[in-house]
Amino acid sequence: MKSALSLTLFALGAHASCPRSVLKALSAAYVEAQTVGNHSFIATLGRSSPNFLYIENNAVLGNLSMSSLAVPIKPDAHRSIHDVEQCASVTEIIAATQEHPYVLHTRILWQATPDNLSVTGINLVESVVTDEGDWLFNATGTLNLNAPEKWDPIPVAAQDTRAKIQSLGDWYFDRFGDVNRGDVPWHAEPCYRLEGGLPARGTKQGEDCIHVMPASIKVPYRRYVVDEEMGAADIFMGFPGLDRTQGQAPMPDSHLFRVEGGKVRYCHTVSACVTAGCGIGEIDWPDRK
């Protein structure tokens, strides 16, 4: 029998710990459903949660048969990370070889019972779905660059803490707005960010990789999923739109980081431009001129 306090914490969504094995089975089932465009898997679990929300590229959709969940998206590559503490997952799907290519990142907050932690529903699905025309979109490029990367589980003794892993992702986005934040610690290999389908290369300096970045961009609305075993943090956030001066809303964006030994190894971005240009033309990228 759980104490009233832990039930309260659960109700507040503070710590809804879920077994990794359960999360892995669920994210695998999501990939299977997405492959054939069967939205019923998510819809059925969503109906068990009173406050279920499905958000795709920042739009709340009530009818999942009108969403990308109902479109067959067959992964050429995919990976999921699992946040045991938050009962959450993020899945990256790269579909490069089908007629309509896609790359997506999908964050799911699963709902578990407090008694035995069986997962009974879904509270939130948030997906950044990119295709032709989105920021540096090229699914073939994403697939090719992703292929040699190693995202093996990190042995327990070598794992960074949740706080450490998340802090590297935060450092990256804080650096966008403050040059004094200093360079994000980054491994010398392979020394690129996989941005859309292009490698945004840094400069190797000994054991490190230095990325040239702008310093005038505030990156708000960060939502985190952290997996210690994968050394991964995914941050969903708002990336400033083309015309911030006219109140342009930040665009939906997700960055997936792999951290090894306190330094970033990989970073994958998906940025849906929706109505703005994801900042193209406005951001002062020193290395893109």
Distance CA 225, CA 199 (A): 24
In contact, 198 and 136? CB cutoff 8 Å: yes
Question: Distance of CA 13 to CAs 7, 23, 48, 97, 163, Å?
Answer: 10, 17, 16, 39, 18
State yes or no: residue 35 binds ligand NAG (CB under 6 A). no
Among 13-21, 75-83, 111-119, 209-217, the segment contacting ligand NAG (CB under 6 A): 111-119
* Least distance in angstroms from the C-beta of 253 to ligand NAG: 20
How many residues touch ligand NAG under the rule CB under 6 A: the total is 18
In contact, 224 and 82? CB cutoff 8 Å: no
> Strand 232-239 vs strand 251-260: parallel, antiparallel, or unpaired?
antiparallel
Options 17, 63, 98, 205; binder of ligand NAG; rule CB under 6 A: 63
State yes or no: residue 6 binds ligand NAG (CB under 6 A). no
Nearer to ligand NAG, 141 or 231 (CB): 141
Q: Which residues share a beta bridge with 124?
A: 53, 109
* Least distance in angstroms from the C-beta of 276 to ligand NAG: 21
State yes or no: residue 113 binds ligand NAG (CB under 6 A). yes
Print the SS3 string covering 133-167: CCCCCCHHHHHHHHCCCCCCCCCHHHCCCHHHHHH
Among 4-12, 40-48, 241-249, 267-275, the segment contacting ligand NAG (CB under 6 A): 40-48
State yes or no: residue 140 binds ligand NAG (CB under 6 A). yes
Q: What is the DSSP letter of 92?
A: E
Nearer to ligand NAG, 113 or 216 (CB): 113
State yes or no: residue 66 binds ligand NAG (CB under 6 A). yes
Select from 232, 276, 274, 281 the least CA-distant residue to 255. 232
Select from 67, 62, 4 the least CA-distant residue to 33. 67
State yes or no: residue 41 binds ligand NAG (CB under 6 A). yes
What is the DSSP secondary-structure string of 258-280? EEETTEEEEEEEEE--TTS-TTT
Among 71-79, 108-116, 177-185, 227-235, the segment contacting ligand NAG (CB under 6 A): 108-116
State yes or no: residue 40 binds ligand NAG (CB under 6 A). yes
Q: Is 74 helix (H, G, I), strand (E, B) or coil?
A: coil
Options 3, 21, 51, 116; binder of ligand NAG; rule CB under 6 A: 116
In contact, 181 and 255? CB cutoff 8 Å: no
State yes or no: residue 48 binds ligand NAG (CB under 6 A). no
Nearer to ligand NAG, 11 or 36 (CB): 36
State yes or no: residue 101 binds ligand NAG (CB under 6 A). no
Residues that bind ligand NAG (CB under 6 A): 33, 36, 38, 40-41, 44, 63, 65-66, 113, 115-116, 118, 138, 140-141, 144, 197
